[in-house]
Amino acid sequence: MLYPQLTSSRNLISLSGIWNFKADYKEEGYVNQWYLKGLKEYDLMPVPASYNDIAVDAALRDFVGDVWYERKVVIPKQWETENVMIRVGSASHHSKIWVNGVLVKEYTGGFLPFESTINEAIQFGEENHIVIGVNNELTWQTLPPGEAYYVEDADGNRKKKLKQQHDFFNYSGIHRPVYLYTTPRTYMEDITVQTDYEGDQGIISYQVVMNQPDEESREAVTVKIEVYDEENQLVGAAAGEKGSLQIDRVTLWQPQNAYLYKFVAKLVSKEHTLDEYSLNIGIRKVQIENGQFLINGEPFYFKGFGKHEDMDVKGKGLDDAMNIRDFNLLKWIHANSFRTSHYPYAEEVLDLADRYGIVVIDEVPAVGMLGQAVPAIGELDGVFTDEKINDETLKEHIRLTREMIARDKNHPSVVMWSLANEASVMEPRAEAYFKELAEAARKMDDRPLLNVNLMLIEPGKCKVSKYFDVIGLNLYFGWYSERGDIDAGKRRLKQWLQECHEAEKKPILLSEYGVDTIAGLHKEPAIMFSEEFQVQFLKAYHEVFDQLPFVIGEHVWNFADFMTGQDLVRIDGNKKGVFTRQRQPKMAAHYLRERWGSITNTHSK
């Protein structure tokens, strides 16, 4: 699915802004046909934004169920001859779109875009009524998994609650932009670009998928490709739906040194351009060889973070200011990469990663698949995933992986797919589950695959690592175990990593390690939660990583403090950020800046 774009052949109207909004506390929206009759006594709500923290209302913050968004929009008369689409960047977690009372789209998945043609439902040149219903419940067949249930409040009223198993707050609502856009009747539905190089010659292979309702004109339409460099010089051209072209004296897309070419695709009929679309592409190569992760033939050492889309007030709503601030901080701290823990981030974020030269590990929302009763280390057998996670969940896992890859495949910043966070289990059925998942993903794209394990699976006991290229480990010795004892944690860490490598013989990425830290809390000697403790913990871990050549990277948990559900161990959220939630540095940020500034992207040990 191509991101909406204003081109010589396509129109674009943003529906971001203020919508009418109503949370359906009494579950009456469907009965009273709000999608057709409209909302009465509504509130105002910004789009994109999570609705939870906008009002001053605990009931809305913790609301579980259906909310309704409504907006009226005039659709230009001139659009009558075009194919008109509505597209939502993401809404968490289950959505329906009605246009003038007609249901045009239903979609499950909280972190990926969905769209529909709406020609049949709209009145051109007149006002149209758009309603988007969003439900934030989770089931055992959604990702992330969870379960809604009812409780009775003090007055005996039924109230819905959500059992969720992942750490981050279940922010809900329309999180990414809503667009109306047009394409010509015959248009490009998808473009795939793959890159490589030999010597100083870049190689671009591409494929264009056309949508051509009118069979008769089939032969008459041809695809034309042009590639421009950053100085806007034409450097390559090709024709045909599928093909490849060479770029002489190529400038590669390099980590922290991005170079983007403009790939322009046109559908041409009798010298007339029917449709036009362009992509920013980077020419680069990713390989795994001799236990090393190579970008453009050079070993790449991941320095960075697991992140979240999370901020004050807006929750998970896309925010350009915050995103650019984040990329500036990544640059400042000399990070070269991040993981989109624990869901695919906005396409707008990946565009920035392409431009800033930040390497991305793109993750599906497979998080919280471990039952809530956390067992002790090594005592996992049989207790891991809830029984309710089944083949239907796997189907959903594969579908969302397919949609993530289809959406993100053309981003040079994306170098690896992460198919699960802390989900692989020791019980026998995990093996078949992950085998099928990894095999399906390999058919979709040739980037390496990452599986992220947590510290409950002892080295060598993971039944699914064999299906993956890189092993991600979330390790917290000295925090969740050996609590407060960094020395003991360090000893355990080293042994663990060595045994894990011995057993799996695969590159290891530290995909999470870190400690909750209250900004401004200072203690000497250090104790848990102090800024000093965070620095000492990170230093100890780095001393171990620097001795082990098979460790191919370090992603600190987390880039910034983030909101979670209410819990005894969560004081106003998860405080493992190196930056505060307002994106100001803790002491550890200065320490990391020094470390990462002094080791190269290759970090040969």
* Residue 382 C-beta: closest distance to ligand E9O, Å: 17
Which residue of 349, 455, 462, 560 would you call a contact of ligand E9O, by CB under 6 A? 455
Nearest alpha carbon to residue 361 among 426, 416, 412, 419:
416
Using alpha carbons, list the distances in angstroms from residue 85 to 1, 135, 348: 12, 22, 19
Nearest alpha carbon to residue 423 among 459, 474, 362, 347:
474
Longest Cα–Cα distance of the chain, Å, equals 79
Active site residue 512: yes
Read off φ and ψ for residue 81, nearest 5 degrees. Answer: -85, -5
Which residue in the shown chain puts its C-beta closest to ligand E9O?
167
Nearer to ligand E9O, 302 or 477 (CB): 477
424: Cβ contacts below 8 Å, ≥ 6 apart: 430, 434, 451, 453, 457, 462, 463, 464, 465
* Residue 73 C-beta: closest distance to ligand E9O, Å: 38
Nearer to ligand E9O, 191 or 430 (CB): 430
Q: Does the protein bind ligand E9O through residue 476 (CB under 6 A)?
A: yes
Nearest alpha carbon to residue 516 among 555, 487, 478:
478
* Residue 90 C-beta: closest distance to ligand E9O, Å: 19
Number of residues that bind ligand E9O (CB under 6 A): 17
Task: Spot the catalytic one: 70, 512, 531, 554.
Answer: 512
Which residue of 574, 577, 578, 592 would you call a contact of ligand E9O, by CB under 6 A? 574
Rounded-to-integer distance, Cα 64 and Cα 54, Å: 16
Nearest alpha carbon to residue 322 among 562, 136, 92:
562
Stretch that binds ligand E9O, among 70-78, 133-141, 379-387, 449-457 (CB under 6 A): 449-457
* Residue 169 C-beta: closest distance to ligand E9O, Å: 11
Rounded-to-integer distance, Cα 126 and Cα 120, Å: 14
* Residue 569 C-beta: closest distance to ligand E9O, Å: 8
Using alpha carbons, list the distances in angstroms from residue 395 to 135, 390, 570: 21, 9, 33
Q: Which residues make beta-bridge pairs with 347?
A: none
Binding mask 477-516 for ligand E9O (x = CB under 6 A): ---xx------------------------------x----
* Residue 252 C-beta: closest distance to ligand E9O, Å: 34
Which residue of 142, 474, 530, 536 would you call a contact of ligand E9O, by CB under 6 A? 474
Burial code of 20-55, b = ≥16 C-beta within 10 A, e = fewer?
bbbbbeeeebeeeebbeeebeebbebbbbbbbbbbb
Could you tell me whether strands 66-74 and 127-135 are parallel, antiparallel, or unpaired per DSSP bridges?
Answer: antiparallel
Burial code of 445-467, b = ≥16 C-beta within 10 A, e = fewer?
bebbbbbbbbbbbbbeebbbbeb
Nearer to ligand E9O, 202 or 306 (CB): 306
Q: Does the protein bind ligand E9O through residue 377 (CB under 6 A)?
A: yes
Q: Sheet containing 66-74: give its strands across.
A: 43-47, 17-23, 66-74, 127-135, 94-99, 102-108
Stretch that binds ligand E9O, among 34-42, 253-261, 381-389, 454-462 (CB under 6 A): 454-462
Rounded-to-integer distance, Cα 538 and Cα 555, Å: 11
Q: Are 137 and 94 contacting, i.e. CB atoms less than 8 angstroms apart?
A: yes
Active site residue 392: no
Stretch that binds ligand E9O, among 192-200, 282-290, 372-380, 594-602 (CB under 6 A): 372-380
Nearer to ligand E9O, 364 or 455 (CB): 455
Q: Does the protein bind ligand E9O through residue 561 (CB under 6 A)?
A: no
Q: Does the protein bind ligand E9O through residue 517 (CB under 6 A)?
A: no
Binding mask 521-560 for ligand E9O (x = CB under 6 A): ------------------------------------x---
* Residue 48 C-beta: closest distance to ligand E9O, Å: 23
Find the binding residues for ligand E9O in span 167-186 (CB under 6 A): 167
Q: Does the protein bind ligand E9O through residue 578 (CB under 6 A)?
A: no
For residue 553, give the amino acid letter.
G
Nearer to ligand E9O, 154 or 568 (CB): 568
Nearest alpha carbon to residue 260 among 134, 411, 364:
411
Read off φ and ψ for residue 356, nearest 5 degrees. Answer: -85, -5
Which residue of 576, 581, 586, 603 would you call a contact of ligand E9O, by CB under 6 A? 576
Task: Spot the catalytic one: 82, 347, 363, 422.
Answer: 422
Find the binding residues for ligand E9O in span 342-371 (CB under 6 A): 342
For residue 425, give the amino acid letter.
V
Using alpha carbons, list the distances in angstroms from residue 567 to 513, 528, 548: 20, 18, 36
Nearer to ligand E9O, 555 or 576 (CB): 576
Catalytic residues: 422, 512
- Binding positions for ligand E9O, rule: CB under 6 A: 167, 342, 374, 376-377, 422, 454-456, 474, 476, 480-481, 512, 557, 574, 576
